[in-house]
């Protein structure tokens, strides 16, 4: 059964135009082509990225945070309460009014105390500024270096200026060393992101990020296997063009450099719109959707590849909406651009900054002061 499934999956009628197949991608006369077996090297590369990231965040990122003045807010830790802790972990982290009243009856605490306890407990689980800064600085470093390397690898290629050239001679497109390493490093990095997603800062678009990582990995892997490498390198370059700007804006945001954050964010928004909503759909996708059918009859691989690109385009539109929402908030003169995907830390009033000593059953009950009321409870 597995052998039959394997034979069906690698059927060249699925992935190549009529009259072409895997035999056309066999190495000959010193010309090397991409092979599916090459992708195994991305697993150790992903592992190396995870190790490098740990070293980077504990050394370079820490020094960058110190130099930029990243400061941590002192968080008040809640006193342990088994009833509320169990409710927090099992039932709800944000109880409603009726649930708060029920907890008050079980614990003897006032509603205000319970609300404060849950607010502080939620804040304890939110990632601190330093963690978010280290994560952003790691991604900024990779995306910037990847964009520079990708630009250097493509700047002298004819398909960089005339995208129709990405199909010239398809599928017999010779593999260049720069293309090999660009692919392997990018794929290894995205696999490392997928492996570390459980420990990374979780944002409101967590599910969309998972879809993006999976779609990107499948897209890169598929384009490599069927030798869509010229289109693949252009797609990766377009994505890297704006990512490092977003991560740098986050870094300045966490460091409190508000003007720098806002200016970089505006630059990011412009580059994002141009690359993801103009060049990507009207340049690259036009050449992958319209041009091939003028040369070959449509085949399954053609639809599959463009389907993956359409998924990415939908994600681009989703994120563009978030970007525009942030830009609208920025235009009236807000002091800082907030990341719409972030789970913001909840602030406390001056009264909430009092000592954590619990006051049971409210400040005054039945005409008794808290002290007298508590004494009365003990006698019961």
Identify the CATH number of the domain in which residue 360 sits. Answer: 1.10.10.60
Question: Is residue 234, in this structure, part of any structural domain at all?
Answer: yes
What pLDDT does residue 198 have? 64
Question: Is residue 21, in this structure, part of any structural domain at all?
Answer: no
Instruction: Give just the sign of the alpha carbon dihedral 249, 132, 42, 59.
Output: positive
Q: 117 and 194 in one domain?
A: no
Q: 361 and 231 in one domain?
A: no
Q: How far apart are CA 42 and CA 187, in angstroms?
A: 6
Q: 203 and 152 in one domain?
A: yes
DSSP letter assigned to residue 93:
S
Q: 118 and 46 in one domain?
A: no
Q: 195 and 232 in one domain?
A: yes
Question: Is residue 147, in this structure, part of any structural domain at all?
Answer: yes
Q: 240 and 137 in one domain?
A: yes
Q: 266 and 212 in one domain?
A: yes
For 283, how many CA atoms within 13 A lie in the half-sphere containing its CB?
18
What pLDDT does residue 333 have? 52
Q: 306 and 221 in one domain?
A: yes
Question: Is residue 5, in this structure, part of any structural domain at all?
Answer: no
**Which among 247, 256, 265 has a CA at the least distance from the CA of 337?**
265
**Which among 312, 175, 194, 316 has a CA at the least distance from the CA of 233?**
175
Question: Is residue 373, in this structure, part of any structural domain at all?
Answer: yes
Q: 182 and 118 in one domain?
A: no
What pLDDT does residue 73 have? 66
What pLDDT does residue 334 have? 54
**Which among 316, 342, 329 has a CA at the least distance from the CA of 136?**
342
Q: 310 and 215 in one domain?
A: yes
What pLDDT does residue 1 have? 64
8 A C-beta contact, residue 229 and residue 241: no
Number of domains observed in the structure of the chain: 2
pTM attached to this predicted model? 0.73
Give phi and psi for 314, each to the nearest 5.
-60, -40
Question: Is residue 19, in this structure, part of any structural domain at all?
Answer: no
What pLDDT does residue 351 have? 41
Q: 110 and 190 in one domain?
A: no
Question: Is residue 340, in this structure, part of any structural domain at all?
Answer: no
Give phi and psi for 34, each to the nearest 5.
-70, 145
Low-confidence ranges of the chain (pLDDT < 70): 1-4, 6, 8, 72-76, 124-127, 198-206, 208, 330-380
What pLDDT does residue 83 have? 80
Structural domain containing residue 121: 82-126+349-379
Q: 214 and 307 in one domain?
A: yes
What pLDDT does residue 44 have? 95
Q: How far is CA 227 from CA 46, 171, 174, 353, in A?
A: 22, 6, 9, 61
Question: Is residue 61, in this structure, part of any structural domain at all?
Answer: yes
Q: How far apart are CA 248 and CA 250, in angstroms?
A: 5
- 54 prior amide bond cis, ω within 30: no
Q: How far apart are CA 133 and CA 257, in angstroms?
A: 13
Q: How far apart are CA 121 and CA 93, in angstroms?
A: 8
């Amino acid at each position: 059964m597995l052998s039959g499934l394997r034979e069906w999956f690698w059927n060249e009628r699925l992935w190549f135009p009529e009259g072409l197949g895997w035999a056309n991608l066999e190495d000959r006369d010193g010309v090397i082509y991409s092979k599916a077996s090459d992708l195994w090297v991305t697993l150790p590369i992903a592992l190396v990225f995870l190790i490098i990231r740990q070293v980077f965040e504990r050394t370079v990122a820490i020094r960058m945070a110190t130099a930029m003045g990243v400061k941590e807010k002192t968080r008040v830790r809640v006193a342990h309460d088994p009833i509320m802790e169990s409710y927090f972990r099992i039932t709800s982290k944000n109880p409603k009014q009726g649930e708060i009243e029920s907890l008050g009856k079980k614990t003897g605490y006032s509603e205000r105390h319970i609300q404060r306890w849950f607010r502080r407990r939620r804040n304890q689980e939110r990632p601190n500024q330093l963690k978010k800064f280290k994560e952003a600085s790691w991604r900024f470093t990779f995306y910037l270096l990847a964009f520079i390397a990708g630009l250097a690898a493509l700047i002298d290629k004819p398909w960089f200026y005339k995208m129709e050239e990405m199909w010239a001679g398809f599928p017999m497109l010779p593999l260049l060393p720069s293309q090999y390493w660009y692919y392997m490093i990018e794929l290894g990095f995205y696999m490392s992101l997928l492996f570390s997603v459980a420990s990374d800062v979780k944002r409101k678009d967590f599910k969309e990020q998972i879809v993006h990582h999976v779609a990107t990995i499948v897209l890169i892997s598929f384009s490599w296997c069927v030798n869509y490498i010229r289109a693949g390198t252009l797609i990766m370059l377009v994505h890297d063009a704006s990512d490092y700007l977003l991560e740098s804006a986050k870094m300045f945001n966490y460091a409190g450099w508000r003007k720098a954050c806002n200016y970089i964010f505006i630059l990011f928004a412009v580059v994002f719109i141009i690359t993801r909503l103009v060049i990507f759909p009207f340049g690259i996708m036009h050449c992958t959707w319209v041009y091939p059918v003028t040369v070959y009859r449509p085949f399954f691989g053609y639809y599959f590849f463009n389907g993956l690109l359409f998924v990415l385009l939908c994600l681009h539109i989703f994120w563009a909406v978030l970007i525009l929402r942030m830009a609208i908030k920025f235009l009236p003169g807000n002091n800082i651009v907030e990341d719409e995907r972030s789970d913001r830390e909840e602030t406390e009033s001056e009264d909430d900054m009092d000592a954590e000593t619990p006051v049971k059953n409210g400040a005054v009950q039945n005409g008794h002061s808290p002290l007298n009321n508590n004494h009365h409870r003990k006698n019961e």
